Amino acid sequence: MAGSVTWRQLDRGPVIPGGTSRGFSTGDWRQEAPILDLDRCVHCMLCWLYCPDSSILVAGGRVVGIDYEHCKGCGICAAVCPPRASAIRMEAEGA
């Protein structure tokens, strides 16, 4: 709404359409980035399930990549990735 809506137009309190955070980049404060090795991935979807930022990209029921625009680098995906797969590892950002 930046600088456009006046107080008289705010009769209902702060309610906005859902999904607006898609427009924000939450990836730009990331310190560590998950690196996905698709050759090792078994497509168990645990990373997709646990990712708090919906940053695991999926197509046709298979993991296809990571949305670095929204990934905060929390490392949960790497932590839940099954040890025998170990398809995701964390690396220092810009390393």
Residues that bind other proteins (CB under 8 A): 1-3, 5-8, 10-20
The least distance separating other proteins from the CB of residue 12, rounded to whole angstroms, comes to 6
Angstrom distances, CA of residue 11 to CA of 5, 6, 7, 19: 11, 10, 8, 22
38 vs 40: CA distance, rounded Å: 5
The least distance separating other proteins from the CB of residue 38, rounded to whole angstroms, comes to 32
Please, which residue, 2 or 95, has the CB nearer to other proteins? 2
Please, which residue, 19 or 94, has the CB nearer to other proteins? 19
With H, G, I as helix, E, B as strand and everything else as coil, classify residue 49: helix
The least distance separating other proteins from the CB of residue 53, rounded to whole angstroms, comes to 16
Question: Position 42: which residue type?
Answer: V
